[in-house]
Structure 1
Amino acid sequence: MEKVAVLGGGSWATALVKILSENKSKVFWWMRNSNDVQHLVQYRHNPRYLSGVQFDLNYVKPTTQLAEVVASADWVVLAVPAAFVQSVLSELPRGALKNKVVVSAIKGMIPQENILITDYLERYFQVANSHQLVIAGPCHAEEVALEKQSYLTIGSHDLAVAEHFCELLRNRYVKASPLDDLDGIEYCAVMKNIIALACGIARGLNFGDNFQAVLVSNAMFEIERFLDAIMPIHRALSGSAYLGDLLVTAYSQFSRNRTFGNMIGRGYTVKSAQFEMNMVAEGYYAVQSIYELNKKLKVEMPITNAVYQILYERISPIVEFEILKEKFN
């Protein structure tokens, strides 16, 4: 029996625990909230997210003891928002992740430091690239809960390790495939959340489907320019780990980034939108990180710049999008 630690109590963590435990892995599930853990033990479901999913406690052990969870497992899946990674992992000794395979299910960057989750793990916890994986692909937690057909890509520098983890995920409604582009997949996952925010803002401003199609088309060129500047290798960006993940985030009703952007476009302030959602939109933090990184790279990124100006400089969304639409063909 494989032993997997899952860190996080949100919807994506809950969906991953469902997949792994139903495939008979032993899952040590860390949640910060002790009331949620007690509820899970008593009623066998997460009271806050995907509450319709029932767990077999023979395979799932929920707890608030982080060090114990990590020590018990061979695989450690990070499924907390990027903004909270530092505070969560600060509770662990620096050697706690040694000899573990660490899997990032986070589609965001470390704020202020403007680095990928994998880079943070290597820098502060000495987790080698060969022992790191990234989960990507069009796979909303809500559809996993409903057992809708879903697709995951596991990025890694070691395809054998990635394939092993794929085997832990595959079932009748989840297809998982390995890909040797750890960094490219991770950056693309960050970028697609920014684009989803832009799509939401456009919807909130009553721009139609025609404009959104052009927005997403131009976004792929923007992502390609950025990836080529930061790590120039050939990638087939039409694949599900890239374009597929972007499309589902840009168009789906389950996309929290699109929802957040829609609220901004309709006139909400950032704080009021965050308060009403009660969920973290990774794109809000990601756009600042990418914007800061691009000060050195100087890549043409009109969509990213527009979203940054709206969220951080408080420029009117309609003003920014009137400028943006003139840059598209």
Structure 2
Amino acid sequence: MASVAVLGSGSWGTALSIVLADNGHDVRLWGRSEKQVEEINMEHQNSHYLKDITLPKSIVAYTDMEKAMSDVDAVLLVVPTKAMRTVLKQVVKYIQKPIPFIHASKGIEPETYLRVSEIIEDEVSAEFRSSVVVISGPSHAEEVSLRQPTTITSSSLDVTAAKYVQDLFMNNHFRVYTNPDLIGVEIGGALKNIIAIGAGMTHGLGYGDNAKAALMTRGLAEIGRLGVKLGANPLTFAGLSGLGDLIVTCTSIHSRNWRAGNMLGKGKSMDTVLSEMGMVVEGIRTTKAAYQLAKETKVEMPITNALYEVLFHDKSPEEAVKKLMGRVKKHEVEELKIEGFHFN
């Protein structure tokens, strides 16, 4: 059995800790809040994030990074993208040997356009990381914590490392596939949050299933278009970390990105939405990064562009929809070929 430091005690970090503990691993869950850590250790609850869920007693929580990292076999990063560099700078102080760095965060860094695996490589020298692996796919923390059937992907440029992570997590209710397409898996996981904000917005505007289906379908086309441009395998976007994650994030009230979009569609301001959410909405920051990256790479992403205008330039959701619907006529099949989706 392995000793794993799980860095990030939010809903997803806690849910993944449950999976690891169920598999008999030594789990050290690190968080910033003394009150939260005490609740986890004494009451075996993390009530702010996973209400009414009893955590395995083998999960031990820490606010002390040095203790959490002491002689671990692997580290799992489950913190918001904007906090990733800060946390990594703490982590590197306490690594004594090369270990796998696993992450379950979904985002792109604005300005640099780096994926999370690239941020890890940027902050952690090769002498301290044996590999970088991402786990991604359709997976609400609330359902994982209830041991409901869930399937995700483990991806790394190091196939052996991807299989190691597969073995760490896989059990009867948590199935893990491997995929060597690290770019595609990370891009799919990050950009689906943008489309989920849009899906929530259509609901808040009172639109029905037609609008949602169109948004998701054309949203997937945008994700694939940018991903292929960056070197991803187009087939990845038809898999768990592409289409699968898009479906679950665009159709469920568990999705904080969907909930944020829904509130925006109902006319609430960005400040009000963020205040009421009380949690990081990763898709907002990713929208900015994807907008910048699309301009840089000259990739057409009309839905992302429209959402960027709503989120950062106070355009009304109604105006954004009108602009999208009034775009110049296109041919869907020819466009799909350009994006890399070749149907014979």
TM-score band, normalised by shorter chain: over 0.9
On the 8 A contact 2:14/2:29 being kept in 1, the answer is: no
For residues 94-113 of structure 1, the aligned pairs below 5 Å read 96=95, 99-113=98-112
SS at match of 2:287: helix
Q: Percent identity between the aligned chains?
A: 34
TM-aligned CA distance change 1:21 to 1:232, over 3 Å: closer
TM-score (norm 1): 0.94
Match for residue 11 of structure 2? 11
Q: Show the counterpart of 1:135.
A: 135
Give, as a single letter, the amino acid of the residue that structure 1 aligns with 2:241: A
Structure 1 segment 22-33 matched on structure 2, within 5 A: 22-33=22-33
What is the alpha-carbon distance in structure 2 between the residues aligned to residue 197 and residue 49 of structure 1? 21
* SS of residue matched to 1:72: coil
Question: For 2:235 and 2:130, how far apart are their aligned partners in 1?
Answer: 20
Are the counterparts in 1 of residues 4 and 74 from structure 2 also a CA contact under 8 Å?
A: yes
Q: Which residue of 1 aligns with 2:191?
A: 191
Superposed, 1:9-158 pairs within 5 Å as 9-57=9-57, 59-93=58-92, 96=95, 99-127=98-126, 131-158=131-158
1:68 Cα deviation after fit:
2.6
Range 226-235 or range 43-52, more displaced: 226-235
Deviation at 1:94, TM superposition (A): 5.9
Kindly indicate whether the alpha-carbon contact (under 8 Å) linking 2:138 and 2:245 is maintained by their aligned counterparts in 1: yes
Alignment correspondent of 1:320: 320
Q: For 1:259-270, list aligned pairs within 5 A.
A: 259-270=259-270
Q: Deviations over 1:22-48 (max 9, x none)?
A: 110000110110111112111111131
Deviation of 1:122 after TM superposition, in Å, equals 0.7
Look up the SS of the partner of 2:235 in the other structure: coil
Of the structure 1 ranges 203-212 and 301-310, higher mean CA displacement relative to structure 2 is found in 203-212
Corresponding letter in the other structure for 2:142:
E
Q: TM-score, normalised by structure 2?
A: 0.90
Partner of 2:338: none
Secondary structure of the equivalent of 2:273? helix
Quick one: distance in 2 between partners of 1:188 and 1:232? 10
Counterpart AA for 1:23: N
Q: What is aligned with 1:249?
A: 249
Letter of the 2:84 partner, please give it. V
Whole-Å separation in 1 of the counterparts to 2:270 and 2:5:
33
Per-residue deviation at 1:56?
3.2
The whole-number CA distance in structure 2 between the counterparts of 1:74 and 1:293 is 35
For residue 154 of structure 1, what is the amino acid of its counterpart?
Answer: S
| Equivalent residues of 1:28, 1:72 under 8 A apart | no
Note the aligned Cα RMSD (angstroms).
1.9
Structure 2 residue identity aligned to 1:152: I
Q: 1:97 to 1:152 in 2, by over 3 A?
A: farther
Q: Structure 1: which 5+ runs fail to align?
A: none
Corresponding letter in the other structure for 1:189:
G
Aligned to 1:167: 167
Indicate conservation of the 8 Å contact 1:200/1:261, yes or no. Answer: yes
Residue 201 (structure 1) shift: 1.0
CA 234–195 in structure 1, closer or farther in 2 if over 3 Å, else same: closer
Q: Per-residue deviation at 1:112?
A: 4.2
1:54 Cα deviation (Å)? Answer: 2.1
Distance 1:147 1:157, change over 3 A: same
Q: Structure 1 residue 89: deviation in Å? A: 2.5
